[in-house]
Structure 1
């Protein structure tokens, strides 16, 4: 699968993987102003997201294979890999199945465990909207607010709209594939052998995604894992505390 990406800067390669219903563009500011000062950053749209191809299959082995193919096409033997949430699970899967291709691994606010269906209602709300009935983002926002009351979450979700060329809008993500494969998105990451390379887990202090009780399972798969907690941040650590997040990541990657 030929994944869409934008790249920034020069230096050792750093691949960045977004979370569910995100896109590589979510990382533009950090990629261009911070990480691109030290690395050649590839901010990638994963399958069924952004401008990358759609496919009925959406699971971590497939997304890890997508990443291996991406590296092959770009002549990258090894790279640092950073992933947030769903992208963090892709990054874990990739490191466990292709350890020889990962220099340093950064996993942002996700553990290698199964999760409750926290986001299934959001997916259902998006796929249930009849976009043909609306002619502006503001109208879509009002309709979406009935199911998604949080304005910051709606603003994030509405970045997935694109004009359809007929005065209306369509969704960039493959919502049907994401909805039908939601159990696979929430599934645990498993492997026959651990990833022995340097690994950093970053969590938000206000986020429930990585709990102290998850550390034994993390270290079974990633025995060299370090954990950094960012004060005041929730699940979107990089957006809510970008300076502290960037400092933690850069100090790890530049060792």
Structure 2
């Protein structure tokens, strides 16, 4: 990493795993962390097997099988996305993001997720401010998981966003942005 001064490192879901690795490997280069809808724990053997099965199905059927399997679990059942047309737009965006990825990329990502280490002990040593953000309806990383993370972090602070699932930045972008700006000590624009 070629960073001249400590940086704010942020990650959502898989990106949260990357952010944790950066913090553990280069703590002197991290000013603070923003971790959204992610966890410290490694996959269980059951979860790894599920990822391997899904990767095999993607290889046989294509990317759409991943979109069909994932999208219903990513979004809240009663989302903050105000209208059906906005929810449909978010679902369409996710579908396009997933199906545009090469099969090999999806399979490699699923394998990497299954092989990631448990970061609990490393993150307990993190002495930087950490903002945790979680959707109240996140079934992939439920609020209880992120509450336990907050308790382990010396400078952890948790925001649970009502009516949001696993993708708070897409489901509740205003709340997400306001929380990040406040955490960074930047002015929050108020529409008038």
Question: Which of 175, 194, 205 matches 2:125?
Answer: 194
Question: Which of 93, 114, 117 matches 2:21?
Answer: 93
Q: TM-score of the superposition, structure 1-length normalised?
A: 0.53
Matched-pair contact (CA < 8 Å) for 2:59–2:103: no
The 2-side partners of 1:93 and 1:240 are apart by: 26
> Larger relative CO (CA 8 A, sep 6+): 1 or 2?
2
Matched-pair contact (CA < 8 Å) for 1:125–1:147: no
Instruction: Report the CA distance between 1:230 and its aligned residue.
Output: 0.8
Deviations 1:156-198 (A, max 9, x none): 2432555xxxxxxx7176233234334214x421445611111
Matched-pair contact (CA < 8 Å) for 1:122–1:147: no
Question: Which of 78, 81, 90 matches 2:6?
Answer: 78
Pairs within 5 Å for 1:5-24: none
Matched-pair contact (CA < 8 Å) for 2:43–2:114: no
- 1:253 equivalent to 2:184? Answer yes
> Which residue is 1:159 aligned to?
97
> Which residue is 1:126 aligned to?
58
Deviations 1:39-63 (A, max 9, x none): xxxxxxxxxxxxxxxxxxxxxxxxx
> Which residue is 1:219 aligned to?
151
The 2-side partners of 1:161 and 1:110 are apart by: 22
Q: For structure 2, list consecutive stretches of 5 or more residues without a partner in the other structure.
A: 73-87, 187-192
Instruction: Report the CA distance between 1:81 and its aligned residue.
Output: 0.8
Q: CA RMSD in A?
A: 3.3
The 2-side partners of 1:147 and 1:207 are apart by: 17
Q: How many equivalent residue pairs?
A: 163
The 2-side partners of 1:181 and 1:228 are apart by: 28
> Which residue is 1:106 aligned to?
34
Instruction: Report the CA distance between 1:247 and its aligned residue.
Output: 0.7
Q: Specify which structure has the higher proportion of strand.
A: 1
Q: Specify which structure has the higher proportion of helix.
A: 2
Q: TM-score of the superposition, structure 2-length normalised?
A: 0.68
Q: Determine helix, strand or coil for the equivalent of 2:39.
A: coil
Matched-pair contact (CA < 8 Å) for 1:160–1:172: no
Deviations 1:13-63 (A, max 9, x none): xxxxxxxxxxxxxxxxxxxxxxxxxxxxxxxxxxxxxxxxxxxxxxxxxxx
The 2-side partners of 1:153 and 1:115 are apart by: 26
Q: For structure 1, list consecutive stretches of 5 or more residues without a partner in the other structure.
A: 1-67, 131-139, 163-169
